[in-house]
């Protein structure tokens, strides 16, 4: 019997070598995770078994001399999950986020991935998580587009030209082969310029910079939102083209209310968003506002919270994948797809990367012990 505990450490260069940038493989892992959610063969945190993650909520004023205070995208979170099927893996994504990191030359968020054997609980891997997280985040709208976008979709509007916007383009362009042109809007034109270079040189998709948000919404077959900052993108869904798919990977707000009757709503996992709704009643000042400030599904969950929309009408894309729910039923249906990154996606893609790393002996083997101290 092996009583040693060893794990594989994978740096970011190791992750690249092991194939973390393979969007085809990532789309497969995310699609698998959605299907396993629909079958119930998964667990996430909290009593609901569907919590997005466990957060450190920073207070508005410090309670100690060095305690951080609340701010835009300011949080620490542990996202935990078990994923079944052929994956049979437990894991966690641990990350901190602070928009002020940009002033330090650091990414807004920094991620670590830990994978464990579900049976003997041994740690199996400790991974650099930023690229993995970015790729699986981009794969989610890719999977949604495959199942929910209008057949023959050619145009994509991107609101938010950051890394998530880039990986969303990669995921969507990999999932559907009809995409011809992307229109990008960002409050920082330099970000849009870098996005255009990426789209045209790395993916081979014609890209056009637009100078107002409306031009990235109207006439688009697909619209993707992933913008961070103090002010949320404000969308008028009446500007959406008939048959458009709107993917909310980042928080936004709707300036009109008629979307409730005019749009079909699909989710990555509706039970997760229901957990957000339940948290809004927690006896903490400002918790509803805080959740709505960063939850990508904010307009939808708040409408359900206020009784304006029935959650019973919302479908999960995993049910579409396994055939338990219909996908697009009419070419002119306008669909809103809500997301809120899930740890099951991280551990699914992480497990595939670990399998490749084990096969090709990528990374370093670190030892906790050969035999635990008290058992010698």
Domain positions in the chain:
5-132+344-375, 139-341
Kindly tell me if the per-residue pLDDT of 228 is higher than 80: no
97-111, 140-154, 321-335: range with highest mean pLDDT: 140-154
DSSP category for residue 72: T
What are the tens digits of pLDDT across the range 162-171?
999 999 999 9
What single-letter DSSP state applies at residue 312? G
What is the distance between the terminal CA atoms of the chain, rounded to a whole angstrom?
14
Is residue 177 predicted with pLDDT exceeding 90?
Answer: yes
Q: In the CATH scheme, what is the homologous superfamily, with its name and number, of domain 139-341?
A: NAD(P)-binding Rossmann-like Domain (3.40.50.720)
* Per-residue pLDDT, 229: 66
Tokens 């930023």 belong to which residue? 130
Say what the pTM is. 0.94
pLDDT of residue 293 exceeding 90: no
Q: With bands split at pLDDT 50, 70 and 90, how would you rate the model's confidence at 263?
A: very high
Q: What percent of the chain has pLDDT over 90?
A: 85
Dihedral angle over CA of 349, 115, 79, 294, nearest 10: -40
CA distance linking residue 250 with residue 232, whole number of Å: 9
Q: pLDDT digit string (tens) for 15-69?
A: 999 999 999 999 999 999 999 999 999 999 999 999 999 989 889 899 999 999 9
Topology match between the domains 5-132+344-375 and 139-341: no
CATH of domain 5-132+344-375: 3.30.1780.10
């Amino acid at each position: 019997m092996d009583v040693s505990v060893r794990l594989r450490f994978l740096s970011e260069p190791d992750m690249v070598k092991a194939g973390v940038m393979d969007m085809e493989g990532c789309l497969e892992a995310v699609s698998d995770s959605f299907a396993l959610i629909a079958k119930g063969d998964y667990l996430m945190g909290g009593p609901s078994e569907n919590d997005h993650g466990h957060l450190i909520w920073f207070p508005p004023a410090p309670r100690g001399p060095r305690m951080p205070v609340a701010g835009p995208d300011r949080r620490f979170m542990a996202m935990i999950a078990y994923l079944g099927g052929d994956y049979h893996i437990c894991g966690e994504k641990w990350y901190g986020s602070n928009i002020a990191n940009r002033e330090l030359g650091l990414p807004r968020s920094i991620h670590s991935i830990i994978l464990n054997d579900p049976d003997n609980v041994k740690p199996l891997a400790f991974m650099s998580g930023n690229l993995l997280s970015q790729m699986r985040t981009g794969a989610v709208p890719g999977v949604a587009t495959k199942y929910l976008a209008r057949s023959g979709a050619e145009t994509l509007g991107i609101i938010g030209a950051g890394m998530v916007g880039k990986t969303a383009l990669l995921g969507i362009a990999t999932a559907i082969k009809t995409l011809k042109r992307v229109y990008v809007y960002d409050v920082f034109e330099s970000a849009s310029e870098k996005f255009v270079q990426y789209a045209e040189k790395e993916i081979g998709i014609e890209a056009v910079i637009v100078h107002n948000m409306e031009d990235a919404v109207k006439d688009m077959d697909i619209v993707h939102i992933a913008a961070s900052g103090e002010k949320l993108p404000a969308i008028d869904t009446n500007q959406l083209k008939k048959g458009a798919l709107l993917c909310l990977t980042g928080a936004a707000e709707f300036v009109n209310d008629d979307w409730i009757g005019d749009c079909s709503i699909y989710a990555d996992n509706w039970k997760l968003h229901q957990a957000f709704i339940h948290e809004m009643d927690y006896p903490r000042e400002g918790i509803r506002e805080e959740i709505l400030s960063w939850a990508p599904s904010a307009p939808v969950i708040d409408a359900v919270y206020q009784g304006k929309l029935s959650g019973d009408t919302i479908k999960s894309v995993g049910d579409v994948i396994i055939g338990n729910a219909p996908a697009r039923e009419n070419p002119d249906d306008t669909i809103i797809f809500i997301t809120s990154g899930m740890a099951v996606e991280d551990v699914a893609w992480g497990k595939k990367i670990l399998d490749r790393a084990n096969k090709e002996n990528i990374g370093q083997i670190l030892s906790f012990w050969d035999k635990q101290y008290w058992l010698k």
